[in-house]
Structure 1
Amino acid sequence: MAGWVPGVSALRSYRLRWLPKDVTAGLVLTTLLVPQGMAYAELAGLPAITGLYTSILCLIGYALFGPSRILVLGPDSSLGPMIAATILPLVGAHGDPARAVALASMLALLVGAMTTLAGVARLGFVADLLSRPTMIGYMNGLALTILVGQLPKLFGFSVQADTFVAELRGFVAGLAHGKSVPASLAVGLFGLAVILACRRWWPRIPGILVAVVSSIAAAGAFELAGHGVSTVGRLPQGFPPFTLPGVPLSDFGLLVGGAAGIAVVSLADTISTASSFAARSGQDIDGSREMIGIGVANIGAGLFQGFPVSTSGSRTAVAEQAGAKTQVTGLVGALAIAVILLVLPGLLEDLPQPTLAAVVIAAALSLADLAGARRLLRQRRVEFSLSVGAFLGVALLGVLPGIALAVALSVANVFRRVWWPHEATLGRVAGLAGYHDTRSHPEAVPLPGCVLWRFDAPLIFANTRAFRERVLALARSQPPPRWIVVAAEPITDVDTTAADMLEELDQALNAAGINLVFAEMKDPVREKIERYGLTRTIDPSHFYPTVDEAVAAFRVHAAGEGAGTPTQV
């Protein structure tokens, strides 16, 4: 059982001296979980109370099945827009909250099933579908989308819109028509200033808690409700019942598509965050077990009127700074939230909605990575372009198409590198051992009569044409070479399409009096060459373990051959 449920193993080795720190960290964490859970629930288009239900169940689920000692899961700002983009078209403009909750719960169950099955099948590599540049662009686009979506609430009015452009137009139109409520804006800006100031100058002070408590006090002292400021209102008392969400079969198409996108983002975020915190403590992570932990957390949330969850770097950092030792911290947080629901449901009754908007906006600002985008622009323009493409995809097409575009761009970038790989003509450089790229070293001296050429990719169907055309171009150079030596160490594979190309290419070169020679070819690739029967055409003696040996063999061959010029190909 301990092998399948890491929480059992953790409890068996638990030390009583850790309990005070875990309890303290859990209570500190609760001050962050409650307002963020409510804010992110509204960001997803759901009642605020569902954020608390979700927090309780996902903390318990991950504490039992998650492998990380202190990773904290819960409602997440990066998933909120994706959840809304999935369920709101199904709910409709005037749909009832109960239907929205049922759809979100089913979405959580689908995400949980996908990630759990992927973990059991050890498919942790799925999280690698999002490259760092596209993730930066996606997060920047998401931050802008969240920011614009929360501005109306910060200013005290609402906008009915489904896209970023429509939300921006609606916000500007609302301002132009005088819909802004000054008291709402004042409360929201005060909360945002407190959160950002604490984050910047006093990171040990829970800025969100200070903003929430201050705004509740201000709402009572200044009767802000009478000045047009919306508040959360009294939360339902009690714990959510076990519920199997009822969803029409016709809704599953969109739900499955949304769940797939959410699963990829959640896994990428969780595994990267888990890796970061594990490296700081000298631990290793198991990507597949992380997938199972996330899956169970989502299933638990979905069965109790919750919605999909992910990890949170900020909440995990708070738990770590507060002294958390184990997942008991999460269990204490779940218990504290349950106590609030059962005993103190009116505790947050006067919390202003603009304060929740400030919490979400602060989270959105933390998602943005403008420094990362500038670094990409400075370091590699191609990857900066990928980042911009993902950013525009989220901003202009929407969150779900944006994540699909981000994945597609990541995969396309990998394919591009294989399709048009780096290749180099090599030569000798005075004072440097070996042979070097003539573009990096213009002073490199080529070997007369012998072209040394390196192809930096596996040789597969996608790049066979590029390989063939480049070799033929080298063969047509003046004076034409006698040997073309391929430095094949970077070639990690040769597929059957490439094998056919090599056979035809060798025949064409042989007809022109040019030998195609390979050096440093890996043994597994050489075995494939022999299995394909290429050594019927390519002379088996034309495979050398090193470039130096190939060059030495060419010199012996050239000395014995004497005069003679290859023909053009």
Structure 2
Amino acid sequence: MVVTIHPSRRRPVEHCDLPRRPSRFEPLLRLLPRLFPFLSWWPRVGRRTLTADLWAGLTGAVIVLPQGVAFAAIAGLPPQYGLYAAMVPVIVAALYGSSWHLISGPTTAISLVVFANVSQLAPPGSPDYIRLVLALTVLAGLVQFGLGLARLGGVVNFVSHSVVTGFTAGAAILIATSQLGHFFGVTLPRGGSFLETWLAFFQQLPAVNGHVALIAGATLLVALVLRRLWPRCPALLLSLIAGSLLCHVLNGAGHGAKLVGALPASLPPLSLPEIDLDTFRVLFPGALAVAMLGLAEAVSIARAVAVRSEQHIDNSQEFIGQGLANIAGGFFSGYASSGSFTRTGVNFDAGAKTPLAAVFSAVLLALVVLLVAPATAYLPIAAMAGVIVLVAAGLVNAKAIRHILRTDRSEAGVLAATFLSTLFVGLEFAIYAGVMLSLLLYLRRTSHPHFITLAPDPASSRHALVNVRRKKLAECPQLKILRLDGSIFFGAVNHIAEELHRIVEKSPEQCHILIIGSGINFIDAGGCHMLFHEAGAMKLSGREIFFCSLKGEVMELLTRGGCLARIGAENVFRDKESAIAGIVARLDPERCACCPSRVFAECAGRPGGWAEGLAAAGLAELGDGPALAEGDDDENDDAPEEG
């Protein structure tokens, strides 16, 4: 007999959550976004984003056309190399970086560093010079790529804002100085120092060409007026057109005004940078400077835009993107590139949604070069000089300089040192000097932690501990309460020991020291040894040292190092409340009986008071308590300044 169950009466099958069997392709799927970062933002691409990115890319292509030519002139390269640097490297940096809006390409600071390093090895513009510049670009890219693979994105933090601000300000002056000859139509020695160039210029003042100076000045003025009246227009491009027209009207070529000449209407040609051992040894210091400066520029710009776009920036991935961009640029005739302040800001304001805007910018620039490159034959070098001077002036961030000078003297010193090194020593050395000075200042600050003297505030219901420098309060005559703000490591142990001895010597009657360790982030073997020694020395001199509020890692190292045994587990408390309660119970009762302060709430349970104590001591006839308590706050002046 066959029993048929109607489908409507079948018992529903209960599904249970069984562990999913991992696919063989899952590791590959997780690896793909790391190998190809653009896969992470590709799902955001749609019809609306494509339209917005296309218009933003067109705006960027128009802006970078005159900038690329100007930057190549600063770097000592033929004009087309500045445009090549704004094509392939831009695409690679956009696809392999982490920022959605960062636009890479040639920049003024990088161009100047390239010129400073390579102009001493070969004549600017010569085939040897171009070969060395491309090799320098690949080396800088390899450094950046290696730092990115090692996930050392935090290394860019050592190039502080003061270093970048001082360097760019000095670079701006050097850039303007390098254009004096082209701006005024005089012959100045190439490769001279800052002072030598200005001295030669003043000697050549009688030979200034009025036509050349008029063309350069008019181009600069037109760009300034256009920026003021029409901020979104391609002011540099329009000013170059105006300068070319003025040169034609004045017959500038017949009066000594030189022309740029026609650019080759071609895409970036393939190149093969030659890097042998001798080239590596000569170029690597400069390549390291280019790499660090380029990373500092790119990451700082990406972060600034990310604040407005609410996007997370991966520093290490940005390193990889910039490194691959420079490596690819060296093989496609583009010299060293980095993030651009101007073009990134314009890209974001133009409504770019994804990195495809940078890709469109590079592709459209290539089309523009193919179409209008011959028109540069009518472009006067004086007009280019006017544009370059304007670009250099934009590098001086007066607002940031004022902020640094007003805020921090140490950072102001770093800024001034970097600025002066840029002008008078050397660009690559200026970056190293600024970074080293910043690190030395950081080490000085961390190796000089401060002891803050605290006392209970009777106006507070819980007798909260307050800095005696901020509010003059009475201290316990037997207990000195200190808060250590800083870590105890080998570089700080001598300073901490000396500071502790100074405080103890100025407060000889306070035989107990309580150190609140909430500000101690870590301690090393040297710090543990110092505490071990100080605890023993204090016990020999009849003093006791106590600790409270120590972090778990600090307690663990003190235990492993044997320091806790020397201090005594009974001298280490969990928090301030238990520390004060435990220490007050161990104070000398005879001194407590005569104490007029009674600063702790726990003092209420101690025997006697100031009047009772005086009577017991037979000193009642000396006067009342408050009169005796006058001047009892001398210890308040012994506290160190708060850091």
TM-score (norm 1): 0.93
State the match for 1:222 in structure 2. Answer: 250
Q: Residue 26 of structure 1 contacts residue 330 of structure 1 at CA under 8 Å; is this kept in 2? A: yes
> SS of the counterpart of 1:199?
helix
Inter-partner Cα distance in structure 2 for 1:308 and 1:9: 27
Inter-partner Cα distance in structure 2 for 1:255 and 1:181: 38
Q: Residue 164 of structure 1 contacts residue 398 of structure 1 at CA under 8 Å; is this kept in 2? A: no
Inter-partner Cα distance in structure 2 for 1:33 and 1:384: 33
**Residues 1:162 and 2:216 are matched in the alignment:** no
> SS of the counterpart of 1:426?
strand
CA apart distance, 1:375: 2.4
Q: Residue 138 of structure 1 contacts residue 391 of structure 1 at CA under 8 Å; is this kept in 2? A: yes
Inter-partner Cα distance in structure 1 for 2:310 and 2:526: 45
Q: Residue 102 of structure 1 contacts residue 305 of structure 1 at CA under 8 Å; is this kept in 2? A: no
State the match for 1:355 in structure 2. Answer: 383
Cα distance per residue 1:82-113 (max 9 Å; x no partner): 1111111111xx46621111111111111111
State the match for 2:622 in structure 1. Answer: none
Cα distance per residue 1:487-542 (max 9 Å; x no partner): 21111111111221111111111111111111211111110111111122111122
State the match for 1:525 in structure 2. Answer: 554
State the match for 2:119 in structure 1. Answer: 88
Inter-partner Cα distance in structure 2 for 1:38 and 1:362: 14
Letter in 1 for 2:484: F
State the match for 2:127 in structure 1. Answer: 98
Q: 1:375 aligns with which of 395, 403, 406?
A: 403
TM-score (norm 2): 0.83
State the match for 1:456 in structure 2. Answer: 485
- Note closer, same or farther for the CA distance 1:197–1:439 as it changes in structure 2 (3 Å cut): farther
Q: How is 1:339-350 mapped onto 2 (pairs within 5 angstroms)? A: 339-350=367-378
Letter in 2 for 1:388: A
Unaligned runs of 5+ in 2: 1-31, 594-643
CA apart distance, 1:71: 1.2
Radius of gyration: which is bigger? 2
> SS of the counterpart of 1:455?
strand
Q: Residue 131 of structure 1 contacts residue 410 of structure 1 at CA under 8 Å; is this kept in 2? A: yes
CA apart distance, 1:435: 2.0
Q: Residue 47 of structure 1 contacts residue 97 of structure 1 at CA under 8 Å; is this kept in 2? A: no
> SS of the counterpart of 1:78?
helix
> SS of the counterpart of 2:308?
helix
State the match for 1:24 in structure 2. Answer: 55
Inter-partner Cα distance in structure 1 for 2:374 and 2:453: 74
State the match for 1:7 in structure 2. Answer: 38
State the match for 2:536 in structure 1. Answer: 507
Inter-partner Cα distance in structure 2 for 1:531 and 1:67: 43
**Residues 1:153 and 2:182 are matched in the alignment:** yes
Moved more, 58-67 or 68-77: 58-67
Q: How is 1:166-565 mapped onto 2 (pairs within 5 angstroms)? A: 166-175=196-205, 178-431=206-459, 434-441=464-471, 443-559=472-588
Inter-partner Cα distance in structure 2 for 1:77 and 1:429: 58
Inter-partner Cα distance in structure 2 for 1:561 and 1:514: 17
Identity of aligned residues (%): 29
Q: Residue 219 of structure 1 contacts residue 225 of structure 1 at CA under 8 Å; is this kept in 2? A: yes
Inter-partner Cα distance in structure 2 for 1:306 and 1:64: 17
Inter-partner Cα distance in structure 2 for 1:195 and 1:96: 28
Cα distance per residue 1:444-490 (max 9 Å; x no partner): 33232111122222111111111011111222224431211112111
Inter-partner Cα distance in structure 2 for 1:264 and 1:153: 31
Unaligned runs of 5+ in 1: 565-569
Inter-partner Cα distance in structure 2 for 1:518 and 1:361: 61
State the match for 2:76 in structure 1. Answer: 45
State the match for 2:93 in structure 1. Answer: 62
Inter-partner Cα distance in structure 1 for 2:394 and 2:549: 48
CA apart distance, 1:166: 2.0
> SS of the counterpart of 1:427?
strand
Inter-partner Cα distance in structure 2 for 1:45 and 1:362: 18
Letter in 2 for 1:76: T
Inter-partner Cα distance in structure 2 for 1:552 and 1:197: 73
State the match for 2:162 in structure 1. Answer: 133
State the match for 1:567 in structure 2. Answer: none
Q: Residue 243 of structure 2 contacts residue 380 of structure 2 at CA under 8 Å; is this kept in 1? A: yes
> SS of the counterpart of 2:545?
strand
Letter in 1 for 2:192: D
Letter in 2 for 1:558: L
CA apart distance, 1:560: 5.2
- Note closer, same or farther for the CA distance 1:447–1:292 as it changes in structure 2 (3 Å cut): same
**Residues 1:76 and 2:104 are matched in the alignment:** no
Q: Residue 216 of structure 1 contacts residue 351 of structure 1 at CA under 8 Å; is this kept in 2? A: yes
Inter-partner Cα distance in structure 2 for 1:518 and 1:120: 43
Inter-partner Cα distance in structure 2 for 1:429 and 1:180: 74
CA apart distance, 1:202: 2.9
Letter in 1 for 2:339: T
Letter in 2 for 1:468: A
CA apart distance, 1:407: 0.6
Q: Residue 110 of structure 2 contacts residue 338 of structure 2 at CA under 8 Å; is this kept in 1? A: yes
Moved more, 243-252 or 54-63: 243-252
> SS of the counterpart of 2:266?
coil
> SS of the counterpart of 1:347?
helix
Aligned residue pairs, count? 559
Q: Residue 451 of structure 2 contacts residue 499 of structure 2 at CA under 8 Å; is this kept in 1? A: no
